Amino acid sequence: MYQYDQYDQAMVDARVEEFRGQVARRMAGEITEDQFKPLRLKNGLYLQLHAYMLRVAIPYGTLNGRQMRMLGDIADKYDRGYGHFTTRQNIQYNWIKLEDAPQILADLATVEMHAIQTSGNCIRNISSDHFAGAAADELVDPRPYAELLRQWSSFHPEFDYLPRKFKIAVIASDTDRAAMRLHDIGIQIVKNDAGEIGARFYVGGGMGRTPMIAPVIRDFVPALQMVSYAEACLRVYNRYGRRDNKYKARIKILVHEIGADEYRRQVEEEFAHILTLGLEPPAAELERIAAFFADPGLETGLAEGYDRSDPDFAVWADQNTAAHKQAGYKAVVISLKPAGGIPGDATADQIRLMADLAEAYSLDELRVTHTQNIVLPHVKQSDLYALWQKLDAAGLGSANLDLIGDIIACPGLDYCSLANARSIPLAQKISERFASPERQRTLGELKLKISGCINACGHHHAGHIGILGVDRKGTENYQLLFGGSEAADTSLAQIVGPGFSEDGIVEAIETATEVYLKARAEGERFIDTYRRIGAAPFKEAIYG
Amino acid sequence: MAETLLRLRVDAASGAPVLSLADFLASDNAAAVRIEPGEDARALLPHLARLALVEVSFPAYGDGRGYSSARILREHGYTGELRAVGDVLLDQLSHMKRCGFDGFAPVKPIAAEAAQQAFATWPDVYQKTVDGRSPIWAKRHGL
């Protein structure tokens, strides 16, 4: 894992002091809320319905036990004893006092963490594959490239007042576990015909009210020109992205309106200029960063396989672990989606327990997934049973990864000032309706995603089943969508028909699963059947 | 409207009348121009030699196009005064300086002492820009 040197630490410390001063000026009335807003947002502090919310960055979703433990301690000390892991691999605290915020950032800085650029119209925390460094199918570990971009994008002086927020994801395998093409810039690390490593740039994807899948803007950018190319992409956007309407200000609209070819032409022109400026960190810097990720301490020569005699354990191991590149290991996903629970929430005690377990069983590493779960990436297969017993005892043993209970949901109207409808109670109702583990497994992979408004923080466009909460004449109403995917077969979900009440939509989903079970061919997932038979049979069953 | 001028230059400020971009391009001897957020700074590139002052307008602090305008001018060798004008606030000063601004004309005056503190916000920087600072990656590798 990456470790700060004196420079990284000094930058984060400087930011804490800067923000301490800004909060003091705000509390003394020297700056207005309007002037303070962009400053607090760049430090992850939102004003929500009931309190301030602090969003802490977890760069590319990777953290160690000490950092995780601090997240638990902050939940106890400054919040109400829990935290909420988000779809961008971050954590949010929902009950923060403004006057505490500088000290929380100072506490975070002691474990090489921060809340820098987790909000505001700037380059946000960079996300990545939650199995990076462990996945059997990756070309290389994408995180060194993400860290290089993290440093480049931190306090970038030119791109701090972009037309709108800007999200970057970096992956390095053909299986997309990071919804890469639904980002403002999606980067896939690839190898060219000459065997060199480089970056494929997808630009102009996103969800929100106008979901778009990013087109390829350049097939291969040499690794040591990646920062310069990103700089060119951002400069064209900063200069020409729309600023007249915040709903048309994301880069996807620019790319869509001028077309990918024209955007590419402008970027290439800017890129040619930028290459003359020598802005790119040297190969030695990428090597320095990569060395931190090279070897987490995996043992060699371990045998494949483990004792599966406990049937409950075997079910969990089959559902919640993934192949590891090293023989004798598995990547373990800890579900934060118990039946009836709030997706992505964990108590301070659970967070600290996961920190302990990472130290004991996963070479001191954890990951946050964009599906709001936690990964222990490097677990010996011989330790799986002991690990599962401890997770299960703490309410963290749900065996529902990628099943209908593994719901993504935004905070919704329970917390968020933008929301039109509540997401959390609906997620709880659905997970209770489908609480039976056998029933969930019968239904197989079924990604259900709920957003409480059109901004799509709950990724409803990318759900096999998506739900969008809207306000219809003062009452919460839920639209139903089918057919989205954020994986390598990225597609956008389509609205099925008229919306429902909270209870009505639970019924509609149940009906849809019955249509699927009747119609499915051998080996088909819900989405496969939907793609094959189309919306009509579902509509007929749901709306009659 | 109160307006103070902060300058990081030792030369005297240009007294030349400041023209709009269109008027500047129509004249062949003007030495000062103001560009608005939507105007292309590259239109000035053929005329850099005769320019002593470029004002970059910030009608609202949240419109960041002026940061790119400033860098582009510096990257192409402009050495005259580059002045941020308008809704220029204390908390934007350090980034503006990093993008090449060396003059600041905020609508709401900023105390010189507070400005000096703002310019000193960052002990180091991650990016190479046009302010001459050596980025962290260069220091790490003795470049």
| Chain-chain contact of B62 with A158 (C-beta, under 8 angstroms) | no
Protein fold of B6-140: Rossmann fold (3.40.50)
Return the SS3 of A127.
Answer: strand
3-state secondary structure of A186: strand
Q: Which residue of A has its CA nearest to B137?
A: A281
Read off the CATH number of the domain in which A327 is found: 3.30.70.3340
Instruction: Pick the residue from chain B with its C-alpha nearest to A36.
Output: B91
Same domain membership, residue A148 and residue A282: yes
Chain A environment of B94 (Cβ under 8 Å):
157
B contact test, residue of A3, A6, A7 with most B CBs within 10 A: A7
Does B99 lie at the interface with A, CB-CB under 8 angstroms?
Answer: yes
Residues A151, A243 share a domain: yes
Give whole-number Cα distances, A296 to A133, A136, A486, A541, B86, in Å.
Answer: 9, 15, 29, 52, 52
Can you give the pLDDT at residue A488?
A: 81
Distance between CA A535 and CA A515 in Å, rounded? 11
CATH number, domain at A69?
3.90.480.20
Are residues A288 and B75, on separate chains, in Cβ contact within 8 Å? no
Return the axis-axis angle of helices A226-240 and B65-75, rounded to nearest 10°: 130
* Closest-approach residue (CA) in chain B for A281: B137
Cα–Cα distance for residue pair A119/A107, rounded to 1 Å: 20
Express each pLDDT in A304-348 by its tens digit.
999 999 999 999 999 999 999 999 999 999 999 999 999 999 999
- CA–CA distance, A199 with A170 (Å, rounded to integer): 9
> d(Cα A37, Cα A17) in Å, to the nearest integer?
17
Q: Where residue A295 falls among pLDDT bands split at 50, 70, 90?
A: confident
Residues 287-346 in A contacting B (C-alpha not used; CB under 8 Å): 288
Residue A81 CA: distances (Å) to CA of A52, A104, A371, B39:
15, 14, 22, 51
Question: Least CB-CB distance to A14: which of B98, B122, B129?
Answer: B122
Count of positions (residues) in chain A: 544
Reported as a pLDDT band with limits 50, 70 and 90, residue A137 is very high
Establish if A134 belongs to a structural domain.
no
Max avg pLDDT among A45-54, B15-24, B115-124: B15-24
- Residues A199 and A266 both lie in one domain: yes
Banded model confidence at residue B1, pLDDT cuts 50, 70, 90:
very low
Judge if A340 and A475 occupy the same domain. no
Q: Which residue has the tokens 């109403």?
A: A477
In a domain, A149, yes or no: yes
**A429-440 core/surface letters (b: 16 or more CB in 10 A; e: else):** bbbebbeebeeb
Domain ranges in chain B?
6-140
H-helix or E-strand containing A21? Answer: helix A6-27
Amino acid at A117: Q
Mean per-residue pLDDT for A480-498? 93
ipTM, 2 dp: 0.97
Instruction: Give dist(CA B71, CA A148) in Å, integer.
Output: 22
B16 min Cα distance to partner chain A (Å): 28
Residues 115-134 of A with CB under 8 A from B: 121
Q: B46: closest CA among B69, B71, B77, B4?
A: B77
Does the residue A45 lie in any domain?
Answer: yes
So what's the pLDDT on residue A238?
98
Domain contains A79: yes
Same domain, A413 and A475: yes
- pLDDT, residue A63, reads 97
- Measure in Å the smallest separation between the Cα of A344 and chain B Cα atoms: 33
Contact: B67, A155; criterion CB under 8 Å: no
Q: Is the pLDDT of residue A35 over 90?
A: no
- Count the domains in chain A: 4
Q: What angle do CA A450, A68, A14 make, to 5 degrees?
A: 100
For residue A462, give the CATH number of its domain. Answer: 3.30.413.10
Two tokens at A408? 């993504």
Domain shared by A100 and A213, yes or no:
no
Flag whether A304 is in a domain: no
Nearest CA among B63, B58, B56 for reference residue B101: B56
Sign of dihedral through CA atoms A520, A523, A526, A530? negative
Contacts of B129 in chain A (CB under 8 A): 157-158
The pLDDT of residue A527: 97
Nearest to A420 by CA among A386, A446, A453: A453
CB contact (8 A) between residue A284 and residue B141 = yes
What pLDDT score does A544 carry?
Answer: 87
Please provide the distance, in angstroms rounded to a whole number, between the alpha carbons at the two ends of chain B. 47
- Contact between A448 and A404 under an 8 Å Cβ cutoff? The reply is yes
Q: What is the tens place of the pLDDT at every residue in A179-212?
A: 999 999 999 999 999 999 999 999 999 998 899 9
Helix (H, G, I), strand (E, B) or coil at B118: helix
Interface of B with A in 47-66 (CB under 8 A): 61-65
In whole angstroms, give the CA distance from residue A308 to residue A313. Answer: 7
Q: In Å, how far is B103's CA from the nearest CA of chain A?
A: 16
Give the per-residue pLDDT at A528.
97
Inspect the interface and report whether the beta carbons of B62 and A11 lie closer than 8 Å. no
pLDDT of residue A501: 96
Q: Does residue B4 register a pLDDT over 90?
A: no
Asked whether the beta carbons of residue B127 and residue A157 sit closer than 8 angstroms, the reply is yes
Inter-chain Cβ pairs, chain A and chain B, closer than 8 A? 93
Q: Do B75 and A7 touch (CB under 8 A)?
A: no
CA dist., res. A324 & res. A320, Å (int): 13
Q: Which of A462, A443, A451 is nearest to A509 (CA)?
A: A443
Domain boundary among the residues A342, A367, A393 is at A393
User: What's the start-to-end Cα distance of chain A, in Å?
Assistant: 55
Average pLDDT over residues A56-72: 97
Nearest CA in chain B to A238: B65
Inter-chain residue contact B127 with A11, CB threshold 8 Å: no
Distance from CA of B56 to the nearest CA of A (A): 14
A252 and A172, same domain (yes or no): yes
Whether residues A147 and A275 fall in one domain: yes
> Maximum CA pair distance of chain A?
67
Residue A520 has pLDDT above 90, yes or no: yes
pLDDT of residue B59: 97
Q: Tokens 């149940």, residue?
A: A510
Query: In chain B, which residues have their Cβ closer than 8 Å to the Cβ of A159?
Result: 64, 67
Least CB–CB distance from B67: residue in A158, A281, A288: A158
Q: Is residue A299 part of a domain?
A: no
Host domain of residue A257: 142-286
Which secondary structure element, helix H or strand E, spans residue A52, and what is its range? strand A52-56
Confidence of residue B2 (pLDDT cuts 50, 70, 90): very low
Q: Which of B68, B87, B88 to mutate to test the interface with A (most CBs of A within 10 A)?
A: B68
Return the residue matching tokens 């070309």: A139
Task: Tell whether A148 and A95 lie within a shared domain.
Answer: no
pLDDT beyond 70 at A121:
yes
Are A88 and A178 found together in one domain? no
Shared domain check, A158 and A282? yes
Residue B3 has pLDDT above 60, yes or no: no
